[in-house]
Homo-oligomer: A and B are copies of this chain.
């Protein structure tokens, strides 16, 4: 039995980690921290846990709590993780960080899009945690930078095409739509029910912080320096991301060939499902599950490929992928505790 801790467990990502880990057959959750809710039973804040756990939030420093578990999930805002991770690593613990702090390999890029980085030396040993791309490295590292939700959908959606060099690298546009849970549980006008319901909008147009993260991974896959246009939108639903990705083809291929390429690339990857021709994923087909569903279309009229990629932002886009990474880091089968079927309707 793995002993695990969740540091910063009071937000939606924290509770989703707890939901998954309480039902994971190989883990025992031994500590969940929160400054705000210190001393409060978890089930008082999240009644879904009523009767299922006696855990209460504790306010503890990393040093205080590091001894209690073998592996720690950090579900903290960016800027905070970097101050906390070193203590866990120093105590010999494995760390999966769900913030942006260790995702960007280039410190200058981090500091341009986020803020000053105070522990840049640690970045080097972090592995970007998309198991379908970096499974071997993840299995060996003690620090995983769990990817952002948007980048997970866009990078998985583009990887086979980029590796195959079938598209013009300068032509990529990602039009992404996310549910509201990605914005967190901190009260603000913009995420009130009345502001979101029956509405739909783009936000942070051309300026979202996930852009450099996508560009880093896409550039690695392409083997060259790639820039993309990325537009996030807010959907009036709680969970899920669907990214519609456009690129110009550099060779004549059919939709069938495209599907073959993707199926070959993701062969053996349990959490990627490539749809058959003429069918496309719906966010409701991945809700509550760790799947990444991909639909493909070659628009021969304009020589463009259209890739549609759906994930649950809290599962494959956050907590689920983090558990998948934990499984790899700890020698478990990749899908342990992650076999939930999507909840529909």
* A284-B229 in contact (CB<8A): no
* A345-B283 in contact (CB<8A): no
* A237-B236 in contact (CB<8A): yes
Nearest chain-B residue to A211 (Cβ)?
B301
For the complex formed, measure the closest distance between the CB of A151 and the CB atoms of chain B, giving whole angstroms: 17
**Proximity string of chain A (278-303) to chain B, C-beta cutoff 8 Å, 1 when within and 0 when not:** 01111111011101010101010110
* B282-A193 in contact (CB<8A): no
Interface membership of A69, Cβ < 8 A? no
Complex partner residue of A206 from B196, B200, B301, B343, CB under 8 angstroms: B301
What's the Cα separation between A195 and B339 when bound, in Å? 23
Nearest chain-B residue to A237 (Cβ)?
B198
* B302-A229 in contact (CB<8A): yes
* A341-B187 in contact (CB<8A): no
* B285-A238 in contact (CB<8A): no
What's the Cα separation between A291 and B23 when bound, in Å? 16
* A297-B180 in contact (CB<8A): no
Interface membership of A15, Cβ < 8 A? yes
Interface membership of A192, Cβ < 8 A? yes
Interface membership of A194, Cβ < 8 A? yes
* B201-A194 in contact (CB<8A): no
Residue of A15, A192, A236, A291 with most chain B CB atoms under a 10 A cut-off: A192
In the complex, identify which listed stretch (A43-51, A75-83, A106-114, A159-167) lies at the interface while the others stay far away: A43-51
Q: Which residues of B contact A52 (CB under 8 A)?
A: 341
* A200-B19 in contact (CB<8A): no
Q: Which residues of B contact A306 (CB under 8 A)?
A: 202, 205-206, 229, 231
Q: A23-B339, A273-B51 are in contact. Are A308 and B185 (CB under 8 A)?
A: no
* A285-B341 in contact (CB<8A): no
Interface membership of A181, Cβ < 8 A? yes
Nearest chain-B residue to A241 (Cβ)?
B200
Nearest chain-B residue to A49 (Cβ)?
B341
For the complex formed, measure the closest distance between the CB of A206 and the CB atoms of chain B, giving whole angstroms: 4
* B185-A283 in contact (CB<8A): no
What's the Cα separation between A283 and B246 when bound, in Å? 24
**Proximity string of chain A (36-67) to chain B, C-beta cutoff 8 Å, 1 when within and 0 when not:** 00000000001111111000000000000000
Nearest 7 CB-CB pairs, A to B? A199-B284, A187-B187, A194-B345, A201-B282, A48-B342, A47-B285, A175-B175
Q: Which of A's residues lie within 8 Å of B, judged by CB? A: 12, 15, 19, 22-23, 46-52, 170, 173, 175, 177, 180-181, 185, 187-189, 191-203, 205-206, 227-229, 231, 233, 235-240, 242, 244, 246, 273, 275, 279-285, 287-289, 291, 293, 295, 297, 299, 301-302, 304, 306, 308, 310, 339-345
